[in-house]
């Protein structure tokens, strides 16, 4: 018998707007803190148990008491099924008669995924049966799609399945996966299902909650590259200048030059939107500035004349910067 579970309560009604920024930040800067010692030791012991080439691997992340690991091992006798949870108390409540192809491990999930990546693991399938919603909007960074360890999860590949009683949480998974070009499906778990994946799911269904499953194929794995290529291409377009270059050009022009107004307007306009994870300040801004037909050449000639009039031995760093910007495209 279960004590009825309370419904999820959250003021958040749509996927959090900060998700994609967090995703790109984490792809740019993978975690570098040392792996927790108990996780490293547990992973090394598991490797000795399974061997360095263990064959088909299924990971049950957030396995709780290990009941989901048992269910998965029975469904997949051809694979090793490894259940991982951070709680020694929950793991201590598992039934002793696990199938021979199942293993339970106490470890920090993010660190375990990192160890598995470093060992070259690629998964047949990856299940996350624990709901992990953190329903308050300000706590969204604690959910897996916005977590620093998320790149390691992606890198392990395999057929992904995430279960939850909070549909919005799984919609956030869809948002980040779609941004990475990974399709997914989101379905309802039938309320009369005879085989809930985990005790959590059984409790939610018994309490009248809707339960949902997200499925996606992560393929052969590998950590995705951050999506900076489109931004870099825009910055390199002929009509786009860095803020320092535009400032230098404007400062070098005579007061009555007809292009001054165009340059001043460009400097006052918002810069190109930087990709998530970009930490540069105003000096790293890039701004569109349409100089019109022949405008670049006319500006270059004006500045070359100004440099010549300043004398060969003169030091004109701003003027030289402006000329480099005009000559480079």
Q: What is the four-CA torsion angle of 83, 84, 90, 92, rounded to 10 degrees? A: 70
At residue 316, does pLDDT exceed 90?
Answer: no
Radius of gyration of the chain (CA): 28
Report pLDDT for 248.
84
How far CA 69 is from CA of 2, 44, 75, 97, 126, in Å, comes to 20, 20, 10, 12, 11
Question: Last residue of some domain: 182, 217, 252?
Answer: 217
Who's near 274: CB < 8 A, 6+ residues apart?
231, 280, 284
Shared domain check, 135 and 52: yes
Express each pLDDT in 112-148 by its tens digit: 999 999 999 999 999 999 998 999 999 999 999 999 9
Of residues 33, 220, 46, 55, the one with CA closest to residue 111: 33
64 plus 200 within the same structural domain? yes
Tell whether 8 is covered by a domain: no
pTM exceeds cut of 0.85: no
Q: Which one of 217, 244, 261 terminates a domain?
A: 217
44 shares a domain with 179: yes
In a domain, 1, yes or no: no
Number of domain units in the chain? 2
For residues 148 and 253, state if they share a domain. no
**pLDDT, position 327:** 77
Beta bridge partner(s), residue 84: 61, 105
User: Which of 264, 240, 255, 266 is closest to 302 using CA atoms?
Assistant: 255
Measure the CA–CA gap between 222 and 120, rounded to whole angstroms. Answer: 10
Same domain assignment for residues 185 and 207 = yes
11 against 25, higher pLDDT: 11
Structural domain including 106 reads 19-217
- Looking at the structure, do residues 176 and 243 belong to the same domain, yes or no? no
How confident is the model at residue 276, as a pLDDT?
67
Q: Does some domain include residue 6?
A: no
Q: What CATH number should be reported for the domain holding residue 120?
A: 3.40.50.150
């Amino acid at each position: 018998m279960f004590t009825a579970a309370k419904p999820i309560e959250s003021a958040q009604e749509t996927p959090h707007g900060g998700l994609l920024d967090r995703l790109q930040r984490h792809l740019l800067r993978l975690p570098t803190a040392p792996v927790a010692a108990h996780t490293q030791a547990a992973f090394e012991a598991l490797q000795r148990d399974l061997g360095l080439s263990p064959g088909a691997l299924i990971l049950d992340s957030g396995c709780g008491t290990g009941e989901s690991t048992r269910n998965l091992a029975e469904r997949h006798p051809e694979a090793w099924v490894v259940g991982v949870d951070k709680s020694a108390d929950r793991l201590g409540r598992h039934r002793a008669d696990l199938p021979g192809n199942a293993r339970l491990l106490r470890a920090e999930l993010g660190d375990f995924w990192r160890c598995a990546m470093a060992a070259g693991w690629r998964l047949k399938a990856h299940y996350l049966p624990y709901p992990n919603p953190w329903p308050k909007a300000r706590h969204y960074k604690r959910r897996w799609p916005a977590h620093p360890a998320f790149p390691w999860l992606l890198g392990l590949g395999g057929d992904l399945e995430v279960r939850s009683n909070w549909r919005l949480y799984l919609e956030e998974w869809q948002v980040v996966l779609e941004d990475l070009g990974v399709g997914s499906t989101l379905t309802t778990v039938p309320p009369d299902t005879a085989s809930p994946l985990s005790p959590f799911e059984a409790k939610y269904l018994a309490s009248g909650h809707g339960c949902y499953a997200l499925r996606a194929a992560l393929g052969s794995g590998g950590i995705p590259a951050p999506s900076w290529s489109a931004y870099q291409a825009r910055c390199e377009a002929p009509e786009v200048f860095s803020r320092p270059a535009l400032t230098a050009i404007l400062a070098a022009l005579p007061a009555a030059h007809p292009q001054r107004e165009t340059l001043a307007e460009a400097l006052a306009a918002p810069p190109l939107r930087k990709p998530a994870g970009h930490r540069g300040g105003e000096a790293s801004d890039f701004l569109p500035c349409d100089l019109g037909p022949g405008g670049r050449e006319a500006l270059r000639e004006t500045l070359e004349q100004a440099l010549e009039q300043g004398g060969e031995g003169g030091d004109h760093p701003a003027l030289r910067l402006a000329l480099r910007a005009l000559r480079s495209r």
